[in-house]
Amino acid sequence: MTATLRPDPTFYPSPKLAMAGPTERYAYTALPRPDKTRPDAIGVVDTVRGSKTFGKVVHKIELTHKGDELHHFGWNACSSMLCPMTAHPHVERRYLIVPGMRSSRIYIIDTKPDPAHAKIVKVIEPEEVIEKTGYSRPHTVHCGPEGIYISTLGGRGKDGTESLPGVFLMDCETFDIIGPWEMDRGPQKMSYDFWWNITKDYMISSEWALPPQFENGLVAEDLLSNRYGHTLHFWNLRQRKNVQSIDLGANHQMPLEIRPAHDPSRNYGFVGVVVDTTNLEASIWTWYREKGTFKAAKTATISPEPADPAKLPPLLKGFGAVPPLVSDIDLSLDDKFLYVACWGTGELRQYDVSDPMKPTLAGSVKVGGIADRTPHPNGTAFAGGPQMVEISRDGKRAYFTNSLYSTWDDQFYPDGVPGLQVMANVKPGGGIELDKEFLVEFEPGYRSHQVRLEGGDCSTDSFCFPSK
């Protein structure tokens, strides 16, 4: 049902060709509903400047159940379908794969024929996910070799700790769950994000926490005892085998988003670490492969900001400072700019990573933040801070939302986090500026998390041909 006679025009062999593609018309945004009075939803936002509904919600897809807690989601197919080894050149980018991280339920949403009126076409219940994979709490979705890959944060059992979390495969045409992906997981015991270099045949995965460490909020005792994840895992993609793990140091808690260079001829990538428990710093690490061995180095740090304890939530009062809390990073398709969301201090940073071992700060905007509560440039109050970031394929626009995860929102922003989405314009050569005309205020009761752009974006597609 997803086949076309010609390859989907939104598939591109190389990042450079993708950058020249059409401008996105819609953004799809995950809208969790923590109060569970209604189901979570996916909001469809008009991104066409000059349109009468620019920056407005033009459609909302309400899910079928309450309490799913949407987080990350992705496409059924992308540019990786053009890789010589994938054998899926005629599948189309049409369906959004939308997991509920708390429920383990997965929704399949059809964005055609009218992307502004997408609709649910299939619901996979949590019992089927757990029975066929042994995993729960699905998280990152990537379209890749042999189908759709989905990472998970939990295993079997009520609290998800009776077995280890991992990655499972789903058929990209029928959406049947195939089964767990790993053949040999080595020392991997926690999970979070993953991505790969298909042509060089390796995958990288990161660690956040086990479900009891995040579902009811951050566990301060576990954080201060360095019990959250702090290791990167490197895998042989074809053999589905852990080949190396790198411990970043127990104090470097929670390495989250994995962002490999988009150009497949490049042998490096980045990961953001939420907090260093010795000094509250956040950090950016560059991982790379040298003579067959993977290595990782801390290449940028972001300091905490002193703050009046009266402005801090109970969790932070004793520190007298706001940690940056780097919760997302995203890399432009030309591998030039790395965007870093500092959810705690309310800052979105832009680093020039032309030299991946020496990131250089090129731009910054501030909005929200635990202590500062910087308003949007149009004067609207802003709670929460820069969270999930998505860059347009041409690299000219950076969209971001403001909610991390419901129970963590309540700890760090106890006065509430309304569902908001903003956009920053990227200046030629570097620098960013918030767009005064683009501030999406979602319906009260919803929060906002990951954004996907129609036709692909900078955290969706994988490429098998270099940008020459």
Cα angle, residue 39 at apex, residues 33 and 44 outer, rounded to 5°: 80
CA–CA separation, 110 vs 114, rounded Å? 9
**Res. 3 pLDDT band, cuts 50 70 90:** low
- Assigned token pair, 397: 């626009």
Contacts of 275 (CB under 8 A, 6+ apart): 223, 253, 254, 281, 282, 323, 325
* pTM over 0.95, yes/no: yes
Q: Find out whether 342 and 273 touch, Cβ atoms under 8 Å.
A: no
pLDDT score of 178: 97
Closest CA to 170 of 77, 279, 71: 77
CA–CA separation, 298 vs 25, rounded Å? 37
pLDDT score of 84: 85
pLDDT score of 2: 53
Q: Could you read off the pLDDT of 25-81 as tens digits, one per residue?
A: 999 999 999 999 999 999 999 999 999 999 999 999 999 999 999 999 999 999 999
3-class SS of residue 16 = helix
Q: Could you read off the pLDDT of 83-138 as tens digits, one per residue?
A: 887 667 789 999 999 999 999 999 999 999 999 999 999 999 999 999 999 999 99
Contacts of 118 (CB under 8 A, 6+ apart): 28, 42, 44, 59, 61, 96, 109, 110, 111
* Summary mean pLDDT of the chain: 96
Q: Residue 166: how many CB atoms within 10 A of its CB?
A: 22
When pLDDT is averaged across residues 355-376 and rounded to a whole number, the result is 98
Q: Find out whether 152 and 133 touch, Cβ atoms under 8 Å.
A: yes
Q: How many helices (H) and strands (E) does the chain have?
A: 5, 30
CA–CA separation, 385 vs 402, rounded Å? 5
pLDDT score of 295: 98
Closest CA to 401 of 368, 361, 436: 368
